[in-house]
Chains A and B, each alone.
Chain A
Amino acid sequence: MSTAPAVRLLVGKVGLDGHDRGAKIIARSLRDAGFEVIYTGLHQTPEMVVATALQEDVDGIGLSILSGAHNTIFPKIVELLRARGASDIIVFGGGIIPDEDKAGLTSVGIKGLFTPGTSSQDVVAWVRANVPSRRR
C-alpha cells in the first residue's frame, strides 16, 4: 500500500439553484470511495467556493449546477482560482450542460463535465485518474 496523502475534494453548489440531490449523491459516493470530501451547502457565490477551497487546501472542486447558469459561474471560478495562484486545483462539474456548451467550458479550464445519467462510479473513477494530491 502506498502512503500517498488522501485526495481532498470540495463539492460545491453555486448560485441560487437548490437542486442538491446530485451534489449530495456525488459527495457521498466520493466519500464512500475513500476521498476526503467537503460539501459547501447551498447558495454559494464563486468567491465563497474559492475561499473555502483555499482554506481547506483541496485538490479538486466538483461543481453542481442544474439551473443553466454554468456558462457564467464555472469560468468565474476558474478565473478566481487563477487570480489566487491556485490554478493547479482541478475543477470539474456536473448538471444540465448541453453538448454545445462543453467545448467552451473545456477551453476555459474545466477538466471534466458530467451530464444526466452519469454513474457516480464513473465520477469516482474519473477523479481517481485525474485529480492528484497537491501535497507531495
Chain B
Amino acid sequence: MKPSEPKTATLKPRGRQGWEERTLSPALEHRPDRSHSFTTVSSEPIERLYTPEDLEGGDAGDRIGYPGEPPYTRGVYPTMYRGRLWTMRQFAGFGTARDTNLRFRYLLDHGQTGLSVAFDLPTLMGRDSDDALAEGEVGREGVVIDTLADMETLFEGIPLGTVSTSMTINAPAAVLFAMYLTVAEKQGVGFETLDGTVQNDILKEYIAQKEWIYPPTPSMRLITDMIAFCSSRVPRWNTVSISGYHIREAGSTAIQELAFTLADGIAYVQAGIDAGLDPDEFAPRLSFFFNSHNDFFEEIAKLRAARRLWCGIMRERFGARTERASMLRTHVQTAGCSLTAQQPYNNVVRVTLQALAAVLGGTQSLHTNALDETLALPSEDAARLALRTQQIIAEESGVVNSVDPLGGSYFVEALTDRMESGARDYIRRIDEMGGMIAAIEAGFPQREITDAAYLYQQQTESGEKTIVGINRYTEGKDRRLDVLRIGAEVERDQLDRLAQVRRERDGRRHERAIRDLKATARSKENLMPSILEAVRAYASVGEISATLKTVFGSYVEDKVVL
C-alpha cells in the first residue's frame, strides 16, 4: 500500500522555513535549546542547522573544486591518504645531543617516519650554554646544540640521505641548518638529496613566540639568503615553515591564526620577489604549520580555508603560474595550550580529537602531543602513546579511505567560507597598514592576540566555556605521573664539552671564519657560504649570532601590549 502524503504538509512553506514552522517551533516549545548561543572555542557563532541556503549558490561544488586541483580546498593531492599517509613526525629533543640521539633512534624503530628536532631555549635564542642567561635552561626544553660537534652526535648512526628532518629553529635557523648540511657532507650525502624543513619563520616570533635575535629587516635578509641558497643547492629542502601554531598557543582565535599566518606568508613571498627570486621557483618550498585546537569542525574548516586562500593569494597577488607554487602543504600539531595538568589522562582524548580534525582537514604531517606535556617534556611512554594515537587513526578508524570525507557538508562548507572571509578581512587590514612588518611594528597582531587570550580566560573562569577537569567535573587530587626530569648534570656536561671544543678547534681557521662572516654581513652577499665555513670551523651558535649582532643589532620589544 502506498502511503498518502499528509495534506497539511503540502500547504505549508517548503524548505528550511517550512521545517522551522512545521517541526522546529513546536519542538523548541517542548524542549528549548540548552543555551541561547552556541559558539566555537574561538567564539564564532554556530547555527542550529545548515542547509543549501547557507552556501553561495546553494552548492559548494565549484568553489571547493577537486582534490589535487586549484583551489585545493579538498586537499593538495588527488589521492590524499589512499596514496600515502601523512608523515607522523613527533617533535623530540631534550638534554644533550647524546640523549636525543637515543630518543630519535627509538622513535624511528617504533615506526615514526620523520624526525623533528626540539632545541633548548639558549640554542633557540642564539646563545651558548655558558651565556649568563642560559643558566638553568641548558637541555631543559629541548636538545642543546652549541657547535657542530653536538650536531654530529645528534645524528650519529642516522643516515641523513634516508630520513626527512624538521628543525624547529628560527632566529638562528641559518646556523643550525648549516650544521645539518655539514653533518650530511661528512656522511658523504649530497645536499641535493636532503629532505627536510627548517621553521625559519621569524615574523611569528615577533608576533607570538618571542624568540628573536635581530630586528626584522636583517632577519628577513637571512631568510631570503637561505631561500636563494636552497633554490640552487638544496632544492628539496623546505626553507620556511610559516607557523600559526605559536600564534594560536599565544591565545589567538582560529581566524586570527589563519589570517596572521597567511599574512606572514605574503611577507615572505614578497621579500623573495624583492630579492629578485622567482615565486614559481621558491614558493613550492614554503610550507605551513598550523595548530589543531579543541573545536573539531572549526579546525577542519580552518585548514580547508587555508588552502583555498593561499591558492588565491599565490595566483592573484603574486601571479604564480605553476600549481606547486600555489599549493599549501602543512604540518599540524595538536594544541599544547588545550592540555590540562589536572586529570592528565583526559589529554589523550583531547589529542585524539584534535589529531582527527587535522587528518580530516587534510594535513601532510602531524605531531600529537603527549599527555604529560603540561608538566614536562614527554616521558618515553607518553611519547609512544601519542604516536600510537596517530597510528590508530591512520590504520583502524577508516577515515583515510576517502578524500576529504566532509567535503560538501553544508556546515563544514559554510564554516570554511566563514574562516575564509574572516581571514580576508584581517589580511586586508594588514595590507592597509603596509604589510605584516609594519603591522608588527604597530603592535597590531600582538594586541589582537592578547585580547583574544584574555577573553578566553574570562570565558573559562566564568564557566561560559568548559574545560573538563578545570571548571567542570573537577577532582581534588590528581594521579601523579612519572615525568621526564632533566638533571643538573646535563648543564655541567655541556659546559665541559663546549670548553673542550673551543680548546681543540683550529683557532686560526675559526678567527678567519668569524672575520669573514662579519664582512659578509656588512656586504650584500649571500650569508650562507660564510655561515657554513664558520660552522665547519666549529664556531658556536652563540659566537656566530653575536658576530651578526654586531652588524645587525638586537631586537627589543618596545611596545609591550597588556
Interface residues of A (CB under 8 A from B): 15-21, 24-25, 27-29, 31, 39, 41-43, 45, 67-69, 71-73, 96, 98-99, 115-117, 119-121
Query: Known interface pairs A25-B454, A39-B560. Does A67 touch B133 (Cβ–Cβ under 8 Å)?
Result: no
Bound: A27/B560 CA distance, A: 12
Bound: A43/B554 CA distance, A: 13
What distance in Å separates the Cβ of B198 from its nearest Cβ neighbour in chain A?
19
Query: Known interface pairs A18-B209, A98-B483. Does A117 touch B342 (Cβ–Cβ under 8 Å)?
Result: yes
Q: List 27 A-B contacts (CB under 8 A).
A: A15-B133, A15-B137, A16-B121, A16-B211, A17-B137, A18-B211, A19-B210, A21-B249, A27-B562, A28-B562, A31-B562, A39-B560, A67-B121, A67-B140, A68-B136, A68-B141, A69-B135, A69-B136, A69-B140, A96-B374, A96-B375, A96-B376, A98-B483, A117-B467, A117-B469, A120-B457, A121-B461
Would you list which residues of chain B between 424 and 467 have a CB under 8 Å from chain A? 450, 453-454, 457, 461, 467
Would you list which residues of chain B between 125 and 176 have a CB under 8 Å from chain A? 125, 127, 132-137, 140-141
Bound: A115/B376 CA distance, A: 13
Across the interface, which residues of A come within 8 angstroms of B374, CB to CB? 96, 116
Bound: A90/B549 CA distance, A: 37
Q: Please name the residue on chain A nearest to B481 by beta carbon.
A: A98
Across the interface, which residues of B come within 8 angstroms of A29, CB to CB? 457
Across the interface, which residues of B come within 8 angstroms of A45, CB to CB? 132-133
What distance in Å separates the Cβ of B376 from its nearest Cβ neighbour in chain A?
7
Say whether A72 contacts B135, CB under 8 Å: yes
What distance in Å separates the Cβ of B11 from its nearest Cβ neighbour in chain A?
55
Bound: A43/B122 CA distance, A: 11
Among A16, A99, A117, the one with the most B-chain Cβ atoms within 10 Å of its Cβ is A16
Say whether A16 contacts B133, CB under 8 Å: yes
Across the interface, which residues of A come within 8 angstroms of B333, CB to CB? none
What distance in Å separates the Cβ of B448 from its nearest Cβ neighbour in chain A?
13
Which of B135, B461, B469 contacts A119 (CB under 8 A)? B461
What distance in Å separates the Cβ of B479 from its nearest Cβ neighbour in chain A?
12
Across the interface, which residues of A come within 8 angstroms of B342, CB to CB? 117
Interface flag for B251 (CB, 8 Å): yes
Say whether A16 contacts B125, CB under 8 Å: yes
Interface flag for B250 (CB, 8 Å): yes
Say whether A99 contacts B480, CB under 8 Å: yes
Q: Please name the residue on chain B nearest to A13 by beta carbon.
A: B210
Would you list which residues of chain B between 87 and 139 have a CB under 8 Å from chain A? 121-122, 124-125, 127, 132-137
Say whether A117 contacts B341, CB under 8 Å: yes
Query: Known interface pairs A42-B557, A67-B121, A96-B374. Does A25 touch B134 (Cβ–Cβ under 8 Å)?
Result: no
What distance in Å separates the Cβ of A94 from its nearest Cβ neighbour in chain B?
12
Interface flag for B340 (CB, 8 Å): yes
Say whether A25 contacts B457, CB under 8 Å: yes
Interface residues of B (CB under 8 A from A): 121-122, 124-125, 127, 132-137, 140-141, 209-211, 249-251, 337, 340-342, 374-376, 450, 453-454, 457, 461, 467, 469-470, 480, 483, 486, 557, 560-562
Query: Known interface pairs A69-B136, A117-B470. Does A21 touch B453 (Cβ–Cβ under 8 Å)?
Result: yes
What distance in Å separates the Cβ of A30 from its nearest Cβ neighbour in chain B?
10
Which of A15, A25, A96, A115 contacts B136 (CB under 8 A)? A15
Say whether B453 contacts A25, CB under 8 Å: yes
What distance in Å separates the Cβ of A37 from its nearest Cβ neighbour in chain B?
8
Bound: A42/B556 CA distance, A: 9
Across the interface, which residues of A come within 8 angstroms of B137, CB to CB? 15-17, 67-69
Query: Known interface pairs A15-B136, A16-B122. Does A117 touch B340 (Cβ–Cβ under 8 Å)?
Result: yes
Say whether A16 contacts B127, CB under 8 Å: yes
What distance in Å separates the Cβ of A9 from its nearest Cβ neighbour in chain B?
13
Say whether A20 contacts B461, CB under 8 Å: no
Say whether B136 contacts A71, CB under 8 Å: yes
Bound: A16/B136 CA distance, A: 10
Across the interface, which residues of A come within 8 angstroms of B453, CB to CB? 21, 24-25
Among B124, B133, B470, the one with the most A-chain Cβ atoms within 10 Å of its Cβ is B133
What distance in Å separates the Cβ of A73 from its nearest Cβ neighbour in chain B?
6
Across the interface, which residues of A come within 8 angstroms of B250, CB to CB? 20-21
Say whether A68 contacts B560, CB under 8 Å: no
Say whether B454 contacts A28, CB under 8 Å: yes
Across the interface, which residues of B come within 8 angstroms of A72, CB to CB? 135-136
Across the interface, which residues of A come within 8 angstroms of B337, CB to CB? 21
Across the interface, which residues of A come within 8 angstroms of B209, CB to CB? 18
Bound: A29/B374 CA distance, A: 22
Across the interface, which residues of A come within 8 angstroms of B469, CB to CB? 117
Bound: A119/B471 CA distance, A: 9
Across the interface, which residues of B come within 8 angstroms of A67, CB to CB? 121, 137, 140-141
Bound: A5/B374 CA distance, A: 38
Bound: A72/B560 CA distance, A: 26
Say whether A98 contacts B133, CB under 8 Å: no
Among B341, B450, B483, the one with the most A-chain Cβ atoms within 10 Å of its Cβ is B341
Bound: A135/B105 CA distance, A: 60
7 extra interface residue pairs, beta carbon distance < 8 Å, beyond A25-B457, A116-B340: A15-B137, A21-B249, A67-B141, A68-B137, A68-B140, A69-B136, A120-B461
Across the interface, which residues of A come within 8 angstroms of B461, CB to CB? 119-121
Say whether A43 contacts B141, CB under 8 Å: no
Q: Please name the residue on chain A nearest to B139 by beta carbon.
A: A68
